[in-house]
Structure 1
Amino acid sequence: MSRRTAMVCASGGLVATAFGVVVDLGGDPEPGRTETQDEGGAGPPAETAPERGQAWMPDVTRKPLAVNFTPGGIREMRGLVMHVQEGENSLHDRFSDPTVECSSHFWVSQSGEIEQYVSAHDRAWAQSAGNPSWLSVETSGFARRPLTAQQVDSVARIYAWGMAQHGWPLEPASTPLGRGFGIHSMGGRDWGGHSCPGPLRSAQTEDILSAARAVYSR
């Protein structure tokens, strides 16, 4: 495995982490440390039972994990959280390593390819206390570089699918108690105290939601 691929869920506290459709409030973890797996029942109380929409997004590459997730662990559907990989290449092999103890529902390459690793009905291990209530998407690349146009479109496809299947609102989320499209850093210490996905990618939230609106209205 390349060093670039292995940097996910580590490196300077940045964890990354449809229709056809596809702040940093605390100190960063020690270099080389991966984000811990699932936080069990931690997080805000569920307000409603999760909608049982599609578990797997159509027209994307499906690569189910055998480890590093909690079957049936989603308590509610608040929305989607964006992460940055701090590396490149598919994360399937990385997340298939039982010693890594982290995962995400989706991964989006810089060319816009989408891979899904965890069912929307199951809990990925991406943002600690936020895991029971939010789906997650890792974006290939680095926080010092913005999402590519292809990535913006693909994350928007995922979000439009979630709007149709799971009732996500077409709006940004700014706290763990909100609903909509969020970023990892909004969870602060309870979500690992990371600055992920960094200011450049965080600033593209509105672009993603605008693109999702276009997809959803088709």
Structure 2
Amino acid sequence: MDTGVEGRKASRVGVRVSAVSKTIKGNRVLDGVSASFPLARVSGIRGHNGSGKTMLLRAIAGLISIDEGSIEVFGEKLDARGDFPVGIGFMVEPLELWDEFTGLEMLTLLSSLRGRPRENHLRSALTRMGLDPDDLRRIKSFSLGMKQRLNLAQGLMDAPRLLLLDEPTNALDEDGQEAIRQVLIEERDRGTTIIVVSHDREELDRIADVQFIMGDGRIREV
């Protein structure tokens, strides 16, 4: 993603991961991971299945606890127990969707669980992802692509400062992928710090300002 002269200058840090390790059932899924993800930029993380990239995203989102190290989000240290930080939008697969809900009902429930239900934000998020907020069809009738768009909409619905996306273009056609790229540009320009996990190098080349590679629970910038 071309950010011009300003984008090539050193950016402040939005998320800092320092010597983070995590072992699950005897498997060290994160092995001393250290990385700095710049503020108001799109950072891409790629790697093969099992490389640790999704687990790192979950750790940053506070969805799992870490065994060692620390994570700072906008200068605030994340509780090592895995408490969910305020101001984060995330799309981490798989998201459980209630089949009998409409798209708007689903977002309303999720937002109410976070204590921040704002219908105008929910409607805007759906519209940006190409979904009709007034569509009365139940989620069980949605295509895989529509479910992916809904998953992405829930990540956007609270105007997050940090947006974490796990394989956001999966199950989307070219129009859907282009819609995601446009949303990422808009969010970055709004000042959102974005971290995208993908196995697709070509896609990350299109959308990321900086890139990292993960393998065997370790990370390096490229």
TM-score by length of 2: 0.28
Quick check: which one's strand share is greater? 2
